[in-house]
Structure 1
Amino acid sequence: MSRLGPAQRRPLNRGGRGGFSSAQGTDQSSGTVHPTILKQARKSGVLNLSQRGLSSVPENVWTLQEDVPEEAKVVSMDNTEDKWWDTVELNKLILASNMLTCLGEGLGKLSALTVLDVHDNHLTSLPKAVGSLENLQKLDIGHNKLTELPPHIGFLANLKTLQAEHNQLTEICEDVCSAKQLEVMNVSNNKIKALPRYICLLSRLRNLNVSHNNLSHLPPDIGALDALRIFDGTHNQLISLPDEFGNLRKLEQLHLRHNRLEFLPILRHCESLKEILAGNNNIRGLTEEHLQHLRAVTCLDLRDNKLQKLPDEITLLAGLERLDLTNNDISNLPLALGTMTSLKAIILDGNPMRSIRRDIIMRGTNEIKKYLVSRMSDDEMEKQCEKAQPSSVGRIGGGDDVVSSHDLYQLKALDYSNKGVSVLPDEVVEAALEAGVKTLNLSKNSLGDLPTNLSVLGPKLTEMNLASNKLSQVHPNIAQFDKLLMLDLRNNQLSDLPSQLAFLTLLRELVLSCNRLKQVPEVVYSLANLENLFVNDNQICDVNVEGFIKLKKLATLDLQNNDIAQVPPELGNCTWIRSLSLSGNAFRNPRPAILAKGTLATLEYLRSRIVT
């Protein structure tokens, strides 16, 4: 769980969630809490004193269970409010976002606590009394100044969640491994150099976050964490993982970005692994031994490494959907990559590709795959088909409207392209809805607008291809497809886009090539997550630099073959653009010789022409 940094975490009004300001809730001079708050706490079992500027815990917090007012003990049939039989023991104490430097031993009096939240303070140590809280299930001590975890945490037999991120810890004591019910442990953003040898005792641990530390190795016993599903070791100094790491059968997410790995670990028994993030390492190669155990992986991030080649065995990753190879040394791709039907995204920016033309790469994943398949010989294609697992392919519909049930249910994709239809049949939409389709291809038809019956697919669709239709407008109900990551509208008759497109806040790729646009639609500049924008082959006359500066994640911008008469020098300030295409326009500067040098040279040239 992410939290605000020190400069952001305290608003001017330090009132707690209960609605009482510091002045109303606590008396700093007497060191007490207002009786009204205590009365509420006795009723609800929850005491929230967060954001009150406390430098110490008021004494009557520790004696909350003992100091019941005399009037509450008087039995009266006329007024039964606030009597002793209505009170409950305090089970949740929140002291977050104050200025506490210590907690008193009086904490031990609150033996019924299940949650203790003291994150975002100035604590340098914890009292021994913490170890007496036998009912405690969640302990949040993040964002403090702790240099060690006290051994008495090991006495917390019911502790399930330990959050100790953003402290100054250099180690985790072995005693913590005695908290055998622990399921979530977050010790990220510390200075930890090693994990406890007997970490294997935490047999129920599901989520372990050790990111942003100084780990150079992991103990072999980590392979015995049979319940572990998420391991985050991002931003450490790991050179390799122990062989035993491959025994984590329930592991689903493995985060290893920003380390010193020279190869992927061999994960022999990680049958549930879905996501490997290993970018920003020193990985030089992949072998069949590395890949053959990763058949369930859907996302493989190897960006910013030193890969020179992608082996043919990459096709062993039968479930792979996203492959990020950004900023490596790859010059060729295996042709068999084009036959991976589940693969939806191949990211190749920053590689010295020689076997595939740049314009093909710019068109996106589908075009890359088609090109690779077109280069395969009949024998190679036949061999690849033999490797593929056989599957029964059912049919939905009849005649020219046939739809593969295999694609619907296994690939979660509806391909209804090149049917010549102007209306999408309801039975096809219903079949797609039942199958939970995420990818939709309606290209090469005669659609004049977005089919209204598609709205039922909105909650799940991530990719929509409406290329090569007869769209002169896009219906405002496009806003219903707010999970879209890719939208292809090329080869239509569009002159603008509706403002409702702004609801597609997750959109990463937008293809508007070959339309009738005279400018980039204003709504495009509101798509903050946009990474790839193709507006080539239109009638665009100018470049809206102010708009493009808003798109901080934009990596690919294709403005080729338009009517641009002048390129503003300020476009050079968009240094985050990795691929800029401007050829085929009317401007004289930058000259073709500059453009031929690539994006970095073009942006640098433009910046040099800015008049200060």
Structure 2
Amino acid sequence: MDGETQSPRDSNPEADDQTVEIDPSSTVLDLTSFQLHDLNSVELSPSLTELDLTANRLSSLDPRIAHLSNLKKLSLRQNLIDDAAIEPFSRWDSISGLQELVLRDNKLKKIPDPGIFKSLLVFDVSFNEITSLHGLSKASNTLKELYVSKNEVTKIEEIDHLYQLQILELGSNRLRVMENMGNFTSLLELWMGRNRIKVVNLCGLKCIKKLSLQSNRLTSMKGFEECVALEELYLSHNGIAKMEGLSTLANLHVLDVSSNKLTSVDDIQNLTQLEDLWLNDNQIESLKGVAEAVVSSREKLTTIYLENNPCAKSTNYTAFLREFFPNIEQIDSNVFA
């Protein structure tokens, strides 16, 4: 963080009549976990650039925040803020220069209006009760990180103008279709685990480096062929029966296909950069077949999970893997010094 962080001193968070002492010269105020019901005991310096109110008991916004014209980062994470409490926010023009707004883990049922924040870079509304992305059409196209995980969203919409997005987190929602992401040509990370997606559709994106589709309803791995920049791919807890569409992913370092329906390891023979390979909880029969499939990453591989497969019952299972992969550091839960 920029500036000097000055936590409140000599104060009892439970004492409503005691003033929280603040260094007036500080531009950063961290009131995390003070269990505050309001900010009456807190002096808010007009020079503040960062205000962290994480893990308190706030159910309304202090109107003085509206006058913090230098504010760049505001976190209201883990409070009791609902839609009515956040509504005045959209009229506080003095803080329109805000770059980071965190409303994670509150009581929101809809997206707060972000229209006045013309320089917003980070917007986090995860862990609420939001049912729709309606309202994000007003978000500034400067946005680089958007977090809407652990809500009840059913459709990807109103975000196609966010062409500067680098991180998009939509995990733990009710999404069934991957759509309206074709403009995200700068996207580096896409997190969509714990949804209801059946088919991979990355809308032609080629720049993604980290992708999670864990705990969905996938039965096929087709759809990743053009994601040549991929470094980490997480596909555990689906219904995938065959490994395919991976041969072009030359930059892949981490591959997790655990807890699927695989009987063999395929289409990774050309991959030379694999370091972590998770294959546990499948139906893979041949240990030799695994070794042959990963031969191009033989020197690179440091971690492999194969437990709860028939092949893991092979004689000399651990010894075979340690001999074949000279730089292996972990096999299942066994870590080697």
TM-score by length of 1: 0.43
Paired residues of 2:173 and 2:194 also in contact (CA < 8 A): yes
* C-alpha distance in 1 between matches for 2:209 and 2:102: 25
Q: Secondary structure at the match of 1:175?
A: helix
Please point out which of 28, 35, 47 is paired with 1:135. 47
Identify the residue that residue 68 of structure 2 maps to in structure 1.
156
C-alpha distance in 2 between matches for 1:318 and 1:585: 36
Letter in 2 for 1:146: L
Runs of 5+ in structure 1 lacking a partner?
Answer: 2-44, 56-97, 362-366, 374-412, 416-437, 441-463, 468-483, 488-508, 510-531, 533-554, 558-576, 587-612
Q: CA deviation at 1:146?
A: 0.6
Matching residue of 1:327:
237
Separation in 2 of the partners of 1:578 and 1:146? 50
Letter in 2 for 1:250: Q
The residue that corresponds to 1:556 in the other structure is 306
SS at match of 2:160: helix
Give the match's secondary structure for 1:185: strand
Q: Could you tell me how far 1:465 is from its partner in structure 2?
A: 5.5
1:284 Cα offset (Å): 1.5
Amino acid at match of 1:254: L
Matched with 1:369 is: 268
Partners of 1:207 and 1:230 within 8 A in 2? yes
Change (3 A) 1:260 1:111: same
Rounded to whole Å, the distance in 1 between the matches of 2:42 and 2:140 is 29
Quick check: 1:118 aligned with 2:31?
yes
Q: Displacement of 1:314 after TM fit?
A: 2.5
In structure 2, the residue corresponding to 1:300 is in which secondary structure? Answer: strand
2:87 aligned to 166, 174, 190, which one?
A: 174
Code of the residue aligned with 2:197 in structure 1: it is I
Pairing 1:300–2:199 present = no
Tell me how far 1:153 sits from its aligned partner.
2.1
CA distance 1:209–1:579, change in 2 (3 Å) = farther
Contact kept? 2:188, 2:207, Cα under 8 Å = yes
Q: Look up the equivalent residue of 1:339 and give its one-letter code.
A: T
1:273 aligns with 2:273: no
CA distance in 1, matches of 2:72, 2:107: 23
Q: 1:275 to 1:106 in 2, by over 3 A?
A: closer
1:259 alignment partner, one of 168, 173, 196: 173
Secondary structure of the 2:146 match is strand
* CA distance in structure 2 between the aligned counterparts of 1:116 and 1:300, rounded to whole angstroms: 35
Q: Secondary structure at the match of 1:307?
A: coil
- Is the 1:186–1:210 contact (alpha carbons within 8 Å) kept by the matching residues of 2? yes
Alignment partner of 2:221 out of 310, 316, 340: 310
Richer in helix (by share):
1
The partner residue of 2:151 within 236, 260, 263 is 236
Deviation at 1:297?
Answer: 0.6
2:124 to 189, 209, 218: 209
Pick the aligned partner of 2:315 from 571, 574, 584. Answer: 584
Q: Tell me the distance in 1 between the aligned counterparts of 2:17 and 2:149.
A: 31
State the distance in 2 between where 1:146 and 1:315 align. Answer: 47
2:27 aligned partner, one-letter code: T
Name the count of aligned residue pairs. 291
Task: Report the secondary structure of 2:66's partner residue.
Answer: helix
Gaps of 5+ in 2: 276-295, 318-337
Measured in 2, the distance between the counterparts of 1:186 and 1:225 equals: 15
Work out whether residues 27 and 47 of structure 2, in 8 Å CA contact, stay in contact via their aligned partners in 1: yes
Amino acid at match of 1:326: S
- Please tell me whether the aligned partners of residues 306 and 329 of structure 1 are also in contact (alpha carbons under 8 angstroms): yes
RMSD: 3.5
Matched, 1:342 2:251: yes
What is the alpha-carbon distance in structure 1 between the residues aligned to residue 181 and residue 164 of structure 2? 12
What are the Cα deviations for residues 36-79 of structure 1, in whole angstroms up to 9, with x where unaligned? xxxxxxxxx986544x4x33xxxxxxxxxxxxxxxxxxxxxxxx
TM-aligned CA distance change 1:174 to 1:580, over 3 Å: farther
Letter in 1 for 2:240: I
Give TM-score scaled by structure 2 length: 0.73
Query: In structure 2, how many angstroms separate the alpha carbons of the residues matched to 1:466 and 1:333?
Result: 19
1:247 counterpart SS class: coil
In the TM superposition, what is the alpha-carbon distance from 1:248 to its structure 2 partner?
Answer: 1.0
Using the alignment, how far apart are the partners of 2:298 and 2:255 within structure 1? 21
Secondary structure of 2:207's partner?
Answer: coil
Q: Is the 8 A contact 1:280 1:302 kept in 2?
A: yes
Structure 2 CA distance for aligned equivalents of residues 106 and 466 of structure 1: 59
**Deviation digits for residues 235-272 of structure 1 (CA, Å, limit 9, x no counterpart):** 11111232x31211211111122111112232122111
Which deviations, in whole Å up to 9, do the C-alpha atoms of 1:9-35 show, x marking residues without a partner?
xxxxxxxxxxxxxxxxxxxxxxxxxxx
5 Å-filtered alignment, 1:135-534, equals: 135-171=47-83, 173-177=86-90, 178=93, 179-197=95-113, 199-222=114-137, 224-242=139-157, 244-287=158-201, 290-292=202-204, 294-311=205-222, 313-334=223-244, 336-353=245-262, 357-358=263-264, 361=265, 368-370=267-269, 467=299, 486-487=301-302, 509=303, 532=304
Residue 47 to residue 245, structure 1, CA distance change in 2 (3 Å) = closer
Which one has the largest radius of gyration? 1
Q: For 2:65, what is the secondary structure of its paired residue?
A: helix
- What is the match of residue 279 of structure 2? none
**CA separation of 1:331 and 1:157: change in aligned 2, threshold 3 A:** same
Q: Distance in 1 between matches of 2:88 and 2:243?
A: 50
